[in-house]
């Protein structure tokens, strides 16, 4: 199961209490204060892991607590510090404060670490309060509480290019053709129910990552179809590849399909709709009429978008499209 949102609770360890104690030594009738300090509480540390690609491991484990510091003891013994814990999150996870909505951290690199909750300081024992005029102090401190936070985690896949378009526009077939990804492909809408990633490797061993997200339909921003819940996964991309079916099998106008998807992208985020884009006419192998292709080409020219005609089944135009994608993606790396 692909889970890209989660809510968790984290609690750092409390500091240990300071100790109230006095020495009792032979031939030292007065003794002296000997209460040690409490240990520091453990931290909660988020770590970006390449071994995780969803947030599903938080579904049944939403609470994460570090160990508290041990209390101080007599003979000036300081309590042990609490043990910190590491919580693994996928690379691409964005962490928000659940109460304020503030973005706290964005994990974009493997093994990146961030202390999300700091442990409390240990309290001072009574030995710390001794002075020349106050030689038998009975004051001591309680440990400070560790930080606790409620967090909202959002996973945004790290991809260089994103495939967008209506359901059955040929996105899954294309990504299976140009990469090793093997998404479900069938002749009905919404065969892709979750984002898919594929690595495209060029002849010179350079590579880039392509993301295929479920298709968009009119009013997706209002929840129609699968909605726009997966569009966050292409927010980081440097390039959008907009696929439009020109086969005529759907009975829809390709230009209207293009405008509809662009409207849904803009409803989600104007920045997303403004990303560099390639416009691609798909399913050329079964297109009976060239008028839809011509109309779509005119739209591309009017908007200043590079235009490509492909068939993922026969391979027509695939090499030119891959070259254009790599040229734009890798040029900005």
pLDDT given at position 188: 41
What are 258's two structure tokens? 């293009």
**Helices (H), ranges, the chain:** 171-178, 254-268, 270-273, 291-303, 318-330
Query: Kind and range of the H or E element at 46?
Result: strand 44-49
Neighbours of 190 (CB within 10 A): 13
Q: In what order do the strands lie in the sheet with 5-11?
A: 63-65, 5-11, 148-155, 93-97, 103-106
User: CB-based contacts of 256: which residues, under 8 Å, 6+ apart?
Assistant: none
* Same-domain status, 24 and 122: yes
* Same-domain status, 167 and 19: no
pLDDT given at position 183: 53
Q: Give pLDDT < 70 ranges for the chain.
A: 1-2, 28-30, 181-194, 217-229, 332-333
Whichever domain contains 41, its CATH number is 2.70.210.12
pLDDT given at position 259: 92
Q: In what order do the strands lie in the sheet with 113-117?
A: 85-90, 44-49, 113-117
* Domain end residue (candidates: 155, 185, 206): 155
* Same-domain status, 95 and 38: yes
Using alpha carbons only, what angle is made at residue 311 by residues 202 and 214, rounded to the nearest 5 degrees? Answer: 80
What are 121's two structure tokens? 């300081």
* Same-domain status, 294 and 178: yes
- How many distinct structural domains can be found in the chain? 2
Q: Cα–Cα distance between 167 and 87 in angstroms, integer? A: 37
Whichever domain contains 176, its CATH number is 3.40.50.300
pLDDT given at position 217: 62
User: What is the C-alpha end-to-end distance of the chain, expressed in Å?
Assistant: 32
* Same-domain status, 135 and 198: no
Query: How do residues 163-198 score in pLDDT, each as one tens digit?
Result: 998 888 888 889 888 887 665 554 544 455 567 888
Q: Cα–Cα distance between 263 and 255 in angstroms, integer? A: 12
* Same-domain status, 133 and 175: no
* Same-domain status, 264 and 150: no
What are 175's two structure tokens? 């990504």
* Same-domain status, 186 and 301: yes
* Domain end residue (candidates: 105, 129, 155): 155
* Same-domain status, 308 and 166: yes
C-alpha of 11 from chain center? 21
pLDDT given at position 193: 53
What are 37's two structure tokens? 């300090």
Q: Cα–Cα distance between 317 and 296 in angstroms, integer? A: 16
| Domain membership of residue 293 as a residue range | 161-330
What are 210's two structure tokens? 């392509």
Q: 76-98 burial string, b = 16+ CB within 10 Å, else e?
A: bbbbebbebbebebbbbbbbbee
* Domain end residue (candidates: 140, 155, 170): 155
* Same-domain status, 19 and 107: yes
* Same-domain status, 169 and 140: no
pLDDT given at position 241: 94
* Same-domain status, 227 and 324: yes
């Amino acid at each position: 199961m692909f889970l890209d949102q989660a809510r968790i609770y984290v609690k750092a360890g409390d500091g240990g209490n300071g100790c109230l104690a006095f020495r009792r030594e032979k031939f030292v009738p007065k003794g002296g204060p000997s209460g040690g300090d409490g240990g520091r509480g453990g931290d909660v540390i988020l770590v970006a892991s390449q071994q995780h690609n969803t947030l599903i491991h938080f579904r049944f484990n939403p609470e994460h607590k570090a160990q508290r510091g041990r209390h101080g003891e007599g003979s000036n013994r300081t309590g042990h510090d609490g043990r910190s814990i590491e919580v693994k999150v996928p690379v691409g996870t964005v962490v928000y404060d659940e109460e304020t909505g503030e973005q706290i951290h964005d994990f974009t690199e493997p093994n990146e670490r961030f202390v999300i909750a700091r442990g409390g300081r240990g309290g001072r024992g009574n030995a710390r309060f001794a002075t020349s005029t106050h030689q038998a102090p009975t004051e001591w401190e309680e440990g400070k509480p560790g930080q606790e936070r409620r967090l909202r985690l959002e996973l945004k896949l790290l991809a260089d290019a994103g495939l967008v378009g209506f359901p059955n526009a040929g996105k899954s077939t294309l990504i299976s053709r140009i990469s090793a990804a093997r998404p479900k492909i069938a002749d009905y809408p919404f065969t892709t129910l979750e984002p898919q990633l594929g690595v495209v490797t060029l002849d010179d061993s350079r590579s880039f990552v392509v993301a295929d997200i479920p298709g968009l339909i009119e009013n997706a921003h209002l929840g129609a179809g699968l909605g726009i819940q997966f569009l966050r996964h292409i927010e980081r991309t440097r390039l959008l590849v907009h696929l439009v079916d020109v086969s005529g099998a759907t009975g829809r106008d390709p230009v209207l399909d293009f405008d509809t998807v662009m409207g849904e992208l803009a409803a989600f985020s104007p920045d997303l709709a403004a990303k560099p884009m390639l416009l691609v006419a798909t399913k050329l192998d079964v297109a009976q009429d060239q008028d839809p292709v011509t109309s779509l080409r005119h739209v591309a020219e009017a908007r200043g978008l590079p235009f490509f005609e492909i068939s993922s089944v026969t391979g027509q135009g695939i090499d030119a499209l891959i070259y254009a994608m790599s040229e734009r993606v890798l040029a900005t790396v």
